[in-house]
Amino acid sequence: MKNKENLLTNTNPALWFVLVFIILLLFIIAFNFDRFDLKDADLFTFFYTYITIILLHTFLNRKRFRLFNQQGVHENIYKSYLQLTWYCLPYLLIAVVYENLILFSKAFEDTFKNVDLYLMMVDEVMFGVQPTIWLQKLLHPLAVDYFMVAYGMFFVYPFVYIIYLLQKNRLDVFYRVLMAQVISLIISLSCYILFPAIGPRFVFDPDFPKMAKNIPEFTSRLEGIKFTFLLNLTGRESFYALQYDMWNYLERIKTDCMPSMHVCLCLICLIYAMRYRETFKWEKTSISFWVIGVFSLIISTVYLRYHWVIDIIAGIVLTIMVYFATEMIYLRWASTRKRMGFAVHEVKWIAEAEKLEKRGT
């Protein structure tokens, strides 16, 4: 006999991690209230994330919604959006934290500073040169455009994958991926408060105020392929410039280098995509796309001067640690649920849609 679940037993542990993290941040604000300018608070990333998730959900389930309309079971459509919000709530809450991390950056800017100088020295010790300075000899407009697209895919991979897993009714994988992303985000955001770094794109910029003496400078600008029509249409001469300005606008906080969240979140998705490759319709093509895309993104973070190489290494190490921690936490949680006699997790409205599809065929 299956026991009736309650809110505690039916909630992804990721939600509790996020809530504890938010409470800790609120305590920091309360005890340092005079340092915080709450007028800078914003919810743009929350709405952007939520709208993106809803659009993906609607697109991926359009056939099921059409089937529900034909069968007159409209409540399943409404239920799907409510469940989507509940399942993705940890992600939405962490988006609020990320958007408002700038409050902490400004509050403690005099306490934690010049972290970039130490990261720069680490890169110098590891390679004997500054990687982003050395890469100037390999700059090419076509490569700049390609890696800018690869870099921008960071705003796609995490959303697409978790919604795809929901659409496939793979809650077991969805919970793992979401939990791993949330844990890595909590650690990363904490580091961005304690170790705020702006990266080589600013530190080595000739027009940026120097943090110390003898800091090298870029002698070549990043330039994509130039198009006259694009300049007339948007005021930007290349797709690289257009994307750079757009991502720069979306990325409200600029002290988010160490560790690389781009690397960590996308590697987490890649690991689970490869582990559960059977969820993809075109398995080999999908995995090839993931591998090429994620590794291009990792290279882009240095090629486009966003990150120090040590940021990338830290992101990879964090990915490995978070992956094993997530597996341990999820298996313990799933084992406890099973011992208590709870049902195997599934998205019930999708299960109903699949039954209707089978009847139709």
pLDDT tens-place values along the chain, 361 residues long: 455 555 556 678 899 999 999 999 999 888 888 888 888 888 888 888 899 889 888 888 888 888 888 887 788 888 889 888 988 999 899 989 988 888 887 777 666 667 899 999 999 999 999 999 999 999 999 999 999 999 988 877 888 888 889 888 888 899 999 999 999 999 999 998 888 889 999 999 988 888 788 888 999 999 999 988 888 888 888 899 898 888 887 777 788 889 999 899 999 999 999 999 998 888 888 899 899 999 999 999 999 999 999 999 999 999 999 999 999 999 888 887 777 766 666 677 777 777 777 775 5
Total tally of structural domains belonging to the chain: 1
Residue 1 lies in a domain: no
Residue 8 lies in a domain: no
pLDDT reported for residue 1? 43
Tokens representing 294? Answer: 């994620």
Residue 62 lies in a domain: yes
CB atoms within 10 A of CB 150: 23
pLDDT reported for residue 111? 62
Residue 95 lies in a domain: yes
Residue 330 lies in a domain: yes
φ/ψ region of 274 (left if φ > 0, alpha if ψ in -120 to 50, else beta) reads: alpha
pLDDT reported for residue 266? 92
Residues 6 or more apart whose CB falls under 8 angstroms from that of 186 comprise 17, 18, 21, 94
Tokens representing 90? Answer: 């940890």
Contact 315, 256 (CB under 8 A): no
Residue 183 lies in a domain: yes
As a whole number of angstroms, the distance between CA 45 and CA 100 comes to: 9
Tokens representing 309? Answer: 């190489």
| Amino acid letter, residue 318 | L
- How far are the Cα atoms of 108, 238, 239, 245 from residue 233, in angstroms, in the given order? 41, 11, 12, 15
Residue 338 lies in a domain: yes
Cis peptide before 196 (omega within 30 of 0): no
pLDDT reported for residue 6? 53
Residue 298 lies in a domain: yes
pLDDT reported for residue 177? 94
As a whole number of angstroms, the distance between CA 151 and CA 312 comes to: 13
pLDDT reported for residue 132? 94
Q: Considering the entire predicted model, what is its pTM?
A: 0.90
Give the residue carrying structure tokens 């059409």: 66
Tell me the residue range of the domain where 130 lies.
13-360
pLDDT reported for residue 127? 93
